[in-house]
Amino acid sequence: MELRQNVARVRPLPFVLAVATLFLLVLAFAGWQAQAVGGTNRVATPTAAASTTGFQGPDAQERNAQLRLQETTHGH
């Protein structure tokens, strides 16, 4: 209890202003870096090609089997 009374109180406003200023500086620096990186990376990136192997997944196999069954039962 005695220690608390002897310690001078620190005003919170200057501390809050300092933290807010540092936060804004960090945010501005991050935005500047993102803009600098985005501005120099103008190379066209290749898109992933779709698989054209003809392999049907399990859902497609099941659906196609049901369609074939319907065609054979409702054909004539």
Amino acid identity for residue 13 in this structure? L
The CA distance from 39 to 58, in Å, is: 44
Note the pLDDT tens digit of each residue in 8-61. Answer: 677 889 999 999 999 999 999 999 998 887 665 556 666 666 666 667 677 887
Quote the pLDDT of residue 45: 63
Q: Is the pTM value of this prediction over 0.75? A: no
pLDDT of residue 19: 96
Res. 74 pLDDT band, cuts 50 70 90:
low
- 62-74 average pLDDT score: 82
